[in-house]
Amino acid sequence: MNIQQIKQRFGIIGSSEKLDHAINVAVQVAPTDLSVLITGESGSGKEVFPQIIHHFSARKHGQFIAVNCGAIPEGTIDSELFGHEKGSFTGAYDMRKGYFEVADKGTIFLDEVAELPLSTQVRLLRVLETGEFYKVGSSKVQKTNVRVVAATNLDVQKAINNGKFREDLYYRLNTVPIYIPPLRERKEDIHLLFRKFAGDFAERYRMPAIQLDNEAVRILTNFRWNGNVRQLKNITEQISVIEQKREINAETLRKYVPDHDTTTLPALYNKPIDEQTFANEREILYKILFDMKKDVNDLKKLVHDIIQHEPDAFTQEKRNKIFENIYEEAEPLVQQHTSVISDIKRNNPDDITDTEVFVEESLSITDKEIELIKKALDRHKGKRKYAAQELGISERTLYRKLKEYNLDE
């Protein structure tokens, strides 16, 4: 099967050299049992390549299981991947097989693998090295013969430096790396994809397909496309449904695609802040305070661990000095946020009382965190995925906080 047939088989559109190279690597590595790490930006189409690898491997008649590691709560991820014994934890009414047991002699695709908790990363490393794992609540070793393909849109090296991802696991997964280029590196494919999506939506909605004039094609091609193929598809669908004219010019396209020549940098102005803007800025301040709380807790844990493991190396005087340094580091941040609050009060004299309540009375970060979580859930009608995105946290972290604050009922 040549590369064009592979593209047709898996619905891949494009002719760029980088895309063709990624497909060739996937086909060449498929007959082996080597682990593969697929990297690329969100929306670039990484999910297709594990299917190519599985299809051209000797395991193609076995199970292919795709797991979104970022969508599974931290408390249940080990059970999902490795299974659990009956009674191993509250709610474990029956024995359950995990994905690694079900996918024996097949392929398992771990999407967003960098979102795995560190404890789960240790378990995964054992599977990759020995093919062995333990079910949650069991002391019996089980064997599995699984091909692992992983993917991430994060900077793994940065995650390693930040202590969020194990370096040994990275090298074990990254036996064969496959890089999926973003859309801005495949400019020759952008118009091809647009026409394909336009044709698909025309068929779906039973209307003529939209077309672009030359200037519109230029704008489309030069746009950055941070959301890659997914963003292009969404915008094509919007234009197909909303616009009455089937010939789309540059002026019409700019309503959906921001002009690439313009800047999106924020501008300062002296216009009084309205009530909605003030409320939004207040929520941003809450988020900053949450981040500060996390940083302080991490610092406290680090110092506590050092003192616990090396108690003789720290006199009371040295301990006091450490905490003095922590407060010295934190004080400029507090002053900075106090200055921001003062600016808001100055621009919004009618809201001074409300701001004073925030500064003087709301001493509990937990209460404000609960309030912000409730607001985000209400705004998105209970949809946790979008609420988590607005709060700037992962869906797994939001799930844990809902459990912690008894908000999931």
Report pLDDT digits (tens) over 253-269. 999 987 554 444 444 44
- Cβ-proximal residues to 304 (8 Å cutoff; 6+ apart), any chain: none
Please tell me whether residues 167 and 212 are part of one structural domain.
no
Indicate whether 269 belongs to any domain: no
Q: Which of 254, 286, 302 is the last residue of a domain?
A: 254
Q: Structurally, how many domains does the chain consist of?
A: 3
Q: What is the pLDDT of residue 320?
A: 57
Q: CB–CB of 101/140 below 8 Å?
A: no
Look at residue 261 and tell me if it is in a domain.
no
- pLDDT for res 341: 53
Q: What percent of the chain is helix, strand and coil (3-state, nearest 5)?
A: 60, 10, 35
**How does pLDDT run across 8-17, given as a tens digit for each residue?**
999 999 999 9
| 287 found inside a domain | yes
Report the distance separating Cα 231 and Cα 344, nearest Å: 35
Q: How far apart are CA 261 and CA 222, in angstroms?
A: 10
- Contact indicator for 394, 115 with CB cutoff of 8 Å: yes
Structural domain includes residue 264: no
Whether residue 200 sits in one domain with residue 91 = no
Question: Looking at the structure, do residues 177 and 188 belong to the same domain, yes or no?
Answer: no
Mean predicted confidence (pLDDT) in 234-248: 95
Residues 283 and 323 in one domain: yes
Give backbone dihedrals phi and psi of 305, rounded to 5 degrees, phi first: -65, -40
DSSP state of 142: E
Q: Which pLDDT value is given to residue 261?
A: 44
Q: Hey, what are 257's tokens? A: 């695609």
CATH number at residue 24: 3.40.50.300
H/E stretch holding 373: helix 365-379
CATH number of the domain encompassing residue 240: 1.10.8.60
Structural domain including 108 reads 3-181
Whether residues 283 and 141 share a domain: the answer is: no
- The residue from 166, 181, 196 where one domain ends is 181
Partners of residue 248 on adjacent β-strands: 212
In a domain, 265, yes or no: no
Instruction: Judge whether residue 224 has pLDDT over 90.
Output: yes
260 in any annotated domain: no
- How far apart are alpha carbons 277 and 287 in whole angstroms? 15
Model confidence at 158: pLDDT above 50:
yes
Average pLDDT over residues 54-76: 94
Residue that is last in its domain, among 161, 181, 201: 181
With respect to residue 105, please indicate whether it lies within any of the assigned structural domains: yes
State the DSSP code for 45: -
Here the tokens at position 157 are 């090296």
115 and 214 fall within a common domain: no
Same domain, 9 and 37: yes
pLDDT at 331: 53
DSSP run (H or E) holding 211: strand 211-212
pLDDT of residue 231: 95
Task: Show Cβ contacts of residue 137 under 8 Å, excluding neighbours closer than 6 positions.
Answer: 84, 85, 87, 88, 89, 92
The pLDDT confidence band at residue 35, using thresholds 50, 70 and 90, is very high
pTM of the predicted structure, to 2 decimals: 0.62
User: In this model, does residue 30 exceed pLDDT 50?
Assistant: yes
Are 217 and 305 within one domain?
A: no
Mean pLDDT on 40-52: 95
Is residue 100 within 8 A of residue 127, CB to CB? The reply is: yes
Asked whether residue 175 falls in the same domain as residue 192, the answer is no
State the pLDDT confidence band at 192, using cuts at 50, 70 and 90. Answer: very high
Does 209 lie in the same domain as 171? Answer: no
pLDDT value of residue 268: 41
Task: Give the contacts of 236 (CB within 8 A, at least 6 positions apart).
Answer: 194, 197, 198, 201, 210
Average confidence score pLDDT of the chain: 83
What does the alpha-carbon distance between residue 67 and residue 251 come to, in Å, rounded to a whole number? 42
**Is the pLDDT score of 217 beyond 60?**
yes
Which of 133-147, 180-194, 341-355 has the least mean pLDDT?
341-355
The tens digit of pLDDT for each residue in 69-123 reads 999 998 899 999 999 999 888 888 899 999 999 999 999 999 999 999 999 999 9
Regarding whether 166 and 195 lie in a shared domain, the answer is no
* Model pLDDT for residues 295-326, shown as the tens digit of each residue: 666 666 666 666 566 555 555 566 555 555 65
Whether residue 154 is found in the same domain as residue 47: yes
Q: What is the largest CA-CA distance in the chain?
A: 79
Tell me which residue of 112, 115, 46, 79 sits closest to 393, measured CA to CA.
115
Higher per-residue confidence, 329 vs 361: 329
Q: Which of 50-54, 84-88, 111-115, 184-188 has the lowest mean pLDDT?
A: 84-88
pLDDT above 90 coverage of the chain, percent: 60
Query: Domain for residue 262, yes or no?
Result: no
pLDDT band at 271 (very low <50, low <70, confident <90, very high): very low
